[in-house]
A and B are shown apart, each in its own frame.
Chain A
Amino acid sequence: AQTVTQSQPEMSVQEAETVTLSCTYDTSENNYYLFWYKQPPSRQMILVIRQEAYKQQNATENRFSVNFQKAAKSFSLKISDSQLGDTAMYFCATRLDAGGTSYGKLTFGQGTILTVHP
């Protein structure tokens, strides 16, 4: 079974500054994927960034980047130049590599509420 832990229930940052959200996970598998999802007040689940565990290079999507430490089973999200629209709940999630087929449930962490202050 996979477990995902987000140890920061709440974080806050000033607009234009940088913030890092932490995530650790536990899995006995070698092939898996890691994700960060954003859930704004509308409650829509929005994919922010994804990382394949077999890739050593950290994923980057515009202002969002990750620090993936496979040995430490750590997957943190860095948001640069924070914007008011970044205010949301952020979930870290894992998914096993289902061997090329399309099924594979997501296991989520508890979430971190991020507030960006003007």
Chain B
Amino acid sequence: AAGVIQSPRHLIKEKRETATLKCYPIPRHDTVYWYQQGPGQDPQFLISFYEKMQSDKGSIPDRFSAQQFSDYHSELNMSSLELGDSALYFCASSPRQRRTRYNEQFFGPGTRLTVL
């Protein structure tokens, strides 16, 4: 079965540089979530999109922006990178199931960002 795809899997950047992380949800999934997991920490919700519109926003810095495209893939753009941005960034997707109250989030393998 197809899973959530994230690219790149690993990324090394210098301080003040820009990074773009990509997420390709499972086919027919219309909702994408982004989470940030720092070293030894729990995942923190950043932002989510439903049907290409931002649906919720968490602790996402103003330096970060994200969007969901017409094919439902999503990109997280990170500018003016700081050392503290080094983390594992997860993307998760949810299926289009209007009749069910529960929609499981399927996680991608994550992108490990290292800022030097």
- A residues contacting B by CB (< 8 A) are 33, 42-47, 50, 52, 91, 97, 100-111
Contacts and interface: CB of A to CB of B under 8 A. Distances in A.
Contacts of A44: 107, 109-110
B43 A97 contact: no
A108 B43 contact: yes
A102 B43 contact: no
B102 A50 contact: yes
Contacts of B20: none
B77 interface: no
B94 interface: yes
B103 A107 contact: no
A105 B43 CA distance: 11
B104 A109 contact: no
A111 B41 CA distance: 8
Nearest to B40: A111
| Interface majority SS (helix, strand, loop, mixed), chain B | strand
Given A45-B107, A101-B50, A106 B45 contact: yes
Interface in B9-39: 30-31, 33, 35
Interface residues of B, number: 31
Interface of B: 30-31, 33, 35, 41-45, 48, 50, 55-56, 58, 88, 90, 92, 94-98, 101-105, 107, 109-110, 112
Contacts of B35: 106
B48 A106 contact: no
A91 B42 contact: yes
DSSP class of A's interface residues: helix, strand, loop or mixed?
A: loop
10 contacts: A43-B110, A44-B109, A45-B43, A45-B110, A101-B98, A103-B48, A103-B55, A103-B56, A104-B103, A106-B43
A47 B104 contact: yes
Contacts of A91: 42-43
B66 to A, nearest CB: 14
B50 A103 contact: yes
